[in-house]
Structure 1
Amino acid sequence: MEVTAEDLGKRSFCEAVMRARLPKAVFKELKKTIDYGAPLDAAIADSVAIAMREWAKELGATHYTHWFHPLTNLTAEKHDSFMDPVGDGTFITEFTGKELIKAEPDGSSFPSGGIRETCAARGYTVWDCTSPAFVKEIPDGCKVLCIPTIFISYTGESLDHKTPLLRSMDAVNKQALRILKLFGKTPAKVTASVGPEQEYFLIDKDKFNQRLDLKLTGRTLFGAPAPKGQELDDQYFGVIKDKVSHFMRELNKDLWEYGIPAKTQHNEVAPSQHEIAPIYGTTNVATDQNQLLMETLKKVAERNGFACLLHEKPFAGVNGSGKHNNWSISTSDGENLIDPGKEPEKNLQFQVFLAAILESVDNHAALLRLSASSAGNDHRLGANEAPPAIISAYLGDQLADVVDQIIANGEATSSLKGKVYKSGCSVIPEFKMDATDRNRTSPFAFTGNKFEFRMVGSTQCIAQPMMTLNTIVADTLCNFADVLEKADDFEAAAKKLVADKLREHQRIIFNGNGYSEEWVKEAERRGLPNIKCMVDAVDYLATPENIEMFEKHGVMSKRELVARGVVMYDNYAKQINIEAKTMIEMSTKQIIPAVMKYEGTLAASVKDLKELGISADTQMEILSTIDTKLAELKKATAELEDIVAKAAEKEDDPKAWAKYYHDVVFAFFDTVRKPADELEKIVDAKAWPFPTYEELLFEQ
């Protein structure tokens, strides 16, 4: 399956396509908006719509849709035909600038946190021209033109992840330009960019279809560990199996056609786990592409006989999946503002941005923790396989040394340099090593010219964590600019500000092992928050100071923030409720009947042996153990049913409802799971009602 240069972006209405198809004046105006953030001239919409329609039709598209990101971590689309009735029984092909710019989906059928009542249906999707439209094939073989949009309510509040993200990009642009102006630089625009690394599992599709828990919740609610897990470290970067390699080739071809070239693909740590990393993009485009990537992963997996699992923790006892979001900010002139250069000790501009980022992370650690929170990610964070729930920043040896000098002396005069590696082997070339190591246990790690936010969950839409990061950095840059713009001696004031802020926020810097118990104690001594679950994190979203910050920069209103919190509580409660009901059904309708049937077979063999005068002590002992565990499972399942039923009493209070599901319902899951998993270890494998971990993880 060959991927050619001609295939790159052929399903994307990208810059090359626009340049070729749009009138020069129209293309020039549209590029001003895309490249420099100039207001979109609605007068050009008809020309763009005609060109987009004809291009999409040539690719086989018969419909178009406004494609958006509701508060579900999924995308949404409503397909409209290009064909409009004329009135005489005939049709014409139609797609106007008005239809390109705006559509009207139902604003009450998506999560809104109370912003929209069920009876209040109107909502709007509005074209995001900075993210390329694309054509995708839908299951029935038809093709549809997908137009990236925002989604807002009739009353003007955002009902999606994209709107606040775009606002946060404007905020960081505005405040970064203020800082750069003080350094004598006047780029047209500063853009936040991200490259999200995506982890996922591939398992056999037929086995997936036999697991009710995987189908309904994305994770296994029952399952004894396989005799082998990841302890030999033989999966990570291991040889990719032929069937998986074929899947990856097909995936790359589809992504390539969407204009999403993958930079890296490899086996991850856990059995049947893999990772793909695309090339950087602006945060809104990267968000769209990551959502499309997740959808494509599932489609291509199914075509190849796999099921793609994106849940943060589909299997207990082996590593889960996340997204590592590599974030930076750069100017329209191509300057990366988080690049320290060869002499970071002399790079005052970099030091200002570094100090601002560290202050942002320290002051808003709880917000960052919340931005990476979900019911699924609660399984993963702090589980010695992912960053801990405690936010800290890793700088590495070189920057840590520069920071220490600034804190001690007010400025730095030197920086560590990379050594030349000499292998001692005559055939191996020498090379210059990096000046610092990397740290995989840090939730927010500097990696040379960017920060890697490693906490984000694998199912999450990256818009919320990136919006949060953009906003908190914009707020700190604003505060820095307010101080520095008043200074008589800018350089002296900037050096003092950097030194003061690094001293003040030194506690957020940690270059050690984030998995260690010692770090948990040290973080507590430093006063860093350790928020262990999503339910406890939501409180930090709509605090008075955070409302003030988000409103100050025009990113979200108080009403929007409060509504997001309600949505998060609601989603958490509903997810755990689904898991609980699935657990009850699997226990009642699958495990218990299967074990009872096996008990009957075993009891019959005991009877036969006794009739023959043969001792059946061993069989009786096994039978007794099974019966004891079966009784435990039956009792625990009944108790879980009662616990879930009582949750309805708290449904009118979103926080109390979510907290009950976390503290009571979810906390009881292991009581049900333990006897079931113990039974799995005893009962004949042929009698067990669904595929085991060994079958799921080692039979791709």
Structure 2
Amino acid sequence: MSQDLEVTSAARNWRVEATEQPSPGALVNDLFASDVLTLEQLKARLSKPDYRSLQATVERGQSLDSSIADTVALAMKTWAMEKGATHYTHWFQPLTGSTAEKHDSFLNPAGDGVAIMSFSGKELIQAEPDASSFPSGGLRATFEARGYTAWDPSSPAFIVRHANGATLCIPSVFFSWKGEALDLKIPLLRSTEALNAAVTPALKLFGASGGTRVSSSLGAEQEYFLIAEEYYYRRPDLIMTGRTLFGAKPPRGQELEDHYFGAIPDRVLSYMTDAEMQLYALGIPVKTRHNEVAPGQFEIAPIFENSNIAADHQQLIMQVLRTTARKYGLVCLMHEKPFAGVNGSGKHCNWSMATDRGENLLDPGDTPSENMQFLFFCTAVLKAVDEHQALLRACVASASNDHRLGANEAPPAIISVFLGSELSDVFSRILSGEGGSAASGGLMGLGSQVLPEIPVHAGDRNRTSPFAFTGNKFEFRAVGSSQSISFPITVLNAIAADSIRQLTADLQARLDAGRDMDAAVTDVVRETFRKHQRIVFDGDGYSEAWHLEAEQQRGLLNLRTTLDAIEHLSSPQNLALFGELGILNERELTARQEIMYDIYFKTVNIEGETTEYMAQTQILPAALKYLGDLESVQARSRAAQGLGQEVTRLTDELYDALQVLRAQNEALGGDEVHEKAHHMRDQVLPAMQEVRRAADALERVVNNKYWPMPTYRQMLFVK
């Protein structure tokens, strides 16, 4: 089939069967969280003492009473079977960055050919999956297979459905037989405890009553691409690496800016609606959907949730988006940069801190200059970001995110904070001792009496900032679209906790010395902001002038690649931070660093070998076949002669570049994973780029019918 006929096939060979959608009332009353075992549902299935005990664990962080495990397990099994589940799994997040599960049946033989459906408290609380093949970074040897999962009661159990049944998923943590964290959730839960321990003493100084608990809240915006399934399976690079290793820039990309927030194609909208219905049933409060900047790119975003639950929900969002796409003849791409020359995908993490009574500690209110509590916590975040730039960069570092960060579409690798004009003015007044309120935004007239007067926001937003204040939260924009948000949240919780406990001690010392509260807070805010104001930048983060200013004048770090960043992960500063807060010990932290090196090496190694394979077996033969056909008419055509010379030159360049890449792929760079990772960055990636340069140039001159794979023109614009 020719490429042009494939375009028609990809565009037309799909059908969406009409389905009956629930009414708005049914969404609220019947569908939302229908596949989630909520506390409210458990209340009806447990005795009052058992329910109150579990509630204290879930809502107030009290230790789990193991004596209630059997009754909770029975209630959970009964509910799951009513939902059609025949199996259960401890659902966890190993250090691969994805999720893992081992399914066990409720069915147990009882003898004499009889079987019963059972699920005990012991089975609920702990399981023992084979841990030998999960990355551990040296925490255990390969032959040490024992690893445990344990129930995380703070995140509700849920049902995952498939064509022939359903499975009860029990959110869990994963750890070694020595008790060391082998997953992403244990550090996240520990960081939540550390944040609570740091913030509650500060709140008491501001007059909060006892018993208040604090955790972080998060809303993660998920960007992704959709392409026709026909194209995906003809691209070995997409199948093997998640991104296109070849592809000439089409005549049209995102220059017209017409895709962004444009009308959503019917095929995509049907897919989105289907995915949303599944997510609603899982209790995931997805709120927003729209076209993103690049052609073929889209976004989905939930509203704020407790960070632990948000981390689970984020994994489910990615899973549902991927599996649902196949029903519509599409493939969902989560790679940070699946297509060169157009915007890549991120996962903007909107982070804040909130009490169990619903108070957002980063809400400035109507008069932020008078909101001493807000200024205290906001200043603590500025201090945290400035002191831990390298850690923030490291927690989003990956081979895939390197293609996106700083690429005129995403935040640069330089970490800075955007405050906006109003907050910048407030801090400037505090710094100068001037005091007073910032100017009010007022109302904006739009020039027509039929249009309402709109309140003017006191500050704009800045999409070039990696860490931006956006009204009542900070938006960490550097997180990659394919990664788990658990480690970035852990880092945000940890650095905030460290900073808040230091400022709280400073504030307490001033109060003990006789300063009144407002004066003491003002002093703390002023002195802290003076030390850390270099991290605040409200301008264009993409500009070359900013890069020079950040590095040369402000002394900010510019860790351009993953390997530049992750070498800082085990610094004395970070070892002390995680160790003192009880989040990760030295072995656990250095293990994660080793895994990041290993994943980087393996990712680029796979890309290098895939580039070599495609160039050698697909692109080079296609170019030679075209060149051979040109030779038959060169004697009769000057055009054929000129084209033949150009194809010959580019084919030779491709061949020469391919020999260099083959040699670098074979060399590997050394025996240690650190040596291999640096070889990938310094030798293999440049060699891959040279192969691609020649191949993409050939794509522009070789007859379309000879080209062996779908092009950007087809993949990005076939809806």
TM-score range, shorter chain: over 0.9
Matches within 5 A, 1:206-605: 206-409=230-433, 412-486=435-509, 487-488=511-512, 489=515, 491=517, 492-524=519-551, 525-605=553-633
Within the alignment, does 1:120 sit opposite 2:144 as a pair? yes
Alpha-carbon distance between aligned partners in 2 of 1:503 and 1:137, rounded to the nearest angstrom: 54
* Helix, strand or coil at the partner of 1:513: coil
Within the alignment, does 1:172 sit opposite 2:195 as a pair? yes
Worse-superposed segment, 36-45 or 466-475: 36-45
**Percentage of pairs with the same residue:** 49
Worse-superposed segment, 54-63 or 412-421: 412-421
The residue that corresponds to 1:160 in the other structure is: 183
The residue that corresponds to 2:687 in the other structure is: 668
Amino acid at match of 2:680: Y
Amino acid at match of 1:569: Y
Alpha-carbon distance between aligned partners in 2 of 1:203 and 1:22, rounded to the nearest angstrom: 47
The residue that corresponds to 1:33 in the other structure is: 57
Amino acid at match of 1:471: A
**Cα distance 1:490–1:116, how it changes in 2: closer, same or farther (>3 A)?**
farther
Amino acid at match of 2:533: Q
Alpha-carbon distance between aligned partners in 2 of 1:630 and 1:490, rounded to the nearest angstrom: 77
Matches within 5 A, 1:188-207: 188-207=212-231
User: What are the superposed Cα offsets for residues 511-559 of structure 1, whole Å, 9 maximum, x if unpaired?
Assistant: 1111111111111110000000111111111111211111111000000
Worse-superposed segment, 454-463 or 50-59: 50-59
Amino acid at match of 1:494: V
Amino acid at match of 1:480: L
Give the one of 681, 684, 691 matched to 2:703: 684
Amino acid at match of 1:358: L
* Helix, strand or coil at the partner of 2:408: coil
Amino acid at match of 2:408: N
Alpha-carbon distance between aligned partners in 1 of 2:237 and 2:686, rounded to the nearest angstrom: 18
Amino acid at match of 2:164: G
Give the one of 636, 649, 669 matched to 1:628: 649
User: What are the superposed Cα offsets for residues 314-362 of structure 1, whole Å, 9 maximum, x if unpaired?
Assistant: 0000000000100000111211100111111111111110111000000
Alpha-carbon distance between aligned partners in 2 of 1:20 and 1:657, rounded to the nearest angstrom: 57
Q: How does the TM-score come out when normalised to structure 1?
A: 0.97
Task: Give 1:483 deviation, angstroms.
Answer: 2.3
User: What are the superposed Cα offsets for residues 119-138 of structure 1, whole Å, 9 maximum, x if unpaired?
Assistant: 10100111111111111124
Within the alignment, does 1:659 sit opposite 2:678 as a pair? yes
Give the one of 650, 654, 662 matched to 2:670: 650
Task: Give 1:269 deviation, angstroms.
Answer: 0.1
Worse-superposed segment, 298-307 or 27-36: 27-36
Alpha-carbon distance between aligned partners in 1 of 2:95 and 2:438, rounded to the nearest angstrom: 45
Whether the aligned pair in 2 keeps the contact of 1:107 and 1:154 (CA below 8 Å) is no
Task: Give 1:262 deviation, angstroms.
Answer: 1.3
Alpha-carbon distance between aligned partners in 2 of 1:343 and 1:427, rounded to the nearest angstrom: 31
Alpha-carbon distance between aligned partners in 2 of 1:485 and 1:569, rounded to the nearest angstrom: 42
Alpha-carbon distance between aligned partners in 2 of 1:427 and 1:381, rounded to the nearest angstrom: 43
**Cα distance 1:109–1:496, how it changes in 2: closer, same or farther (>3 A)?**
same
Alpha-carbon distance between aligned partners in 2 of 1:329 and 1:196, rounded to the nearest angstrom: 15
Return 5+ residue gaps in structure 2 as ranges.
Answer: 1-19
Alpha-carbon distance between aligned partners in 1 of 2:77 and 2:127, rounded to the nearest angstrom: 16
Whether the aligned pair in 2 keeps the contact of 1:216 and 1:582 (CA below 8 Å) is yes
Return 5+ residue gaps in structure 1 as ranges.
Answer: none
Within the alignment, does 1:183 sit opposite 2:206 as a pair? yes
Task: Give 1:637 deviation, angstroms.
Answer: 1.3
Alpha-carbon distance between aligned partners in 2 of 1:324 and 1:299, rounded to the nearest angstrom: 22
* Helix, strand or coil at the partner of 2:44: helix
* Helix, strand or coil at the partner of 1:202: strand
Alpha-carbon distance between aligned partners in 2 of 1:23 and 1:633, rounded to the nearest angstrom: 72
* Helix, strand or coil at the partner of 1:85: strand
Alpha-carbon distance between aligned partners in 2 of 1:374 and 1:490, rounded to the nearest angstrom: 48
Alpha-carbon distance between aligned partners in 1 of 2:115 and 2:622, rounded to the nearest angstrom: 59
Amino acid at match of 1:496: D
Alpha-carbon distance between aligned partners in 2 of 1:583 and 1:244, rounded to the nearest angstrom: 31
Task: Give 1:142 deviation, angstroms.
Answer: 2.8
* Helix, strand or coil at the partner of 1:155: coil
Alpha-carbon distance between aligned partners in 2 of 1:418 and 1:246, rounded to the nearest angstrom: 40
Whether the aligned pair in 2 keeps the contact of 1:313 and 1:380 (CA below 8 Å) is yes
The residue that corresponds to 1:52 in the other structure is: 76
Alpha-carbon distance between aligned partners in 2 of 1:51 and 1:175, rounded to the nearest angstrom: 36
Within the alignment, does 1:616 sit opposite 2:637 as a pair? yes
Whether the aligned pair in 2 keeps the contact of 1:108 and 1:119 (CA below 8 Å) is yes
Within the alignment, does 1:148 sit opposite 2:171 as a pair? yes
Worse-superposed segment, 150-159 or 321-330: 150-159
* Helix, strand or coil at the partner of 1:21: coil
Within the alignment, does 1:639 sit opposite 2:660 as a pair? yes
Matches within 5 A, 1:99-110: 99-110=123-134
* Helix, strand or coil at the partner of 1:86: strand
Amino acid at match of 1:500: E
* Regions of 4+ moved over 4 Å: none
Alpha-carbon distance between aligned partners in 2 of 1:439 and 1:480, rounded to the nearest angstrom: 28
* Helix, strand or coil at the partner of 1:181: helix
Amino acid at match of 2:520: A
User: What are the superposed Cα offsets for residues 624-649 of structure 1, whole Å, 9 maximum, x if unpaired?
Assistant: 211221121122112111111111x5
Task: Give 1:425 deviation, angstroms.
Answer: 0.3
Alpha-carbon distance between aligned partners in 2 of 1:333 and 1:536, rounded to the nearest angstrom: 42
Task: Give 1:685 deviation, angstroms.
Answer: 0.8
Amino acid at match of 1:458: S
Alpha-carbon distance between aligned partners in 2 of 1:281 and 1:254, rounded to the nearest angstrom: 18
* Helix, strand or coil at the partner of 2:421: helix
Alpha-carbon distance between aligned partners in 1 of 2:224 and 2:711, rounded to the nearest angstrom: 19
Alpha-carbon distance between aligned partners in 1 of 2:439 and 2:95, rounded to the nearest angstrom: 45
Alpha-carbon distance between aligned partners in 1 of 2:304 and 2:126, rounded to the nearest angstrom: 29
Task: Give 1:603 deviation, angstroms.
Answer: 2.0
* Helix, strand or coil at the partner of 2:111: coil
Worse-superposed segment, 627-636 or 260-269: 627-636
Whether the aligned pair in 2 keeps the contact of 1:266 and 1:276 (CA below 8 Å) is yes
The residue that corresponds to 2:10 in the other structure is: none
Alpha-carbon distance between aligned partners in 2 of 1:239 and 1:275, rounded to the nearest angstrom: 13
State the number of aligned residues. Answer: 689
Task: Give 1:188 deviation, angstroms.
Answer: 2.4
Alpha-carbon distance between aligned partners in 2 of 1:197 and 1:206, rounded to the nearest angstrom: 28
Task: Give 1:490 deviation, angstroms.
Answer: 5.2
Alpha-carbon distance between aligned partners in 1 of 2:133 and 2:547, rounded to the nearest angstrom: 42
Amino acid at match of 2:193: D
Whether the aligned pair in 2 keeps the contact of 1:338 and 1:450 (CA below 8 Å) is yes
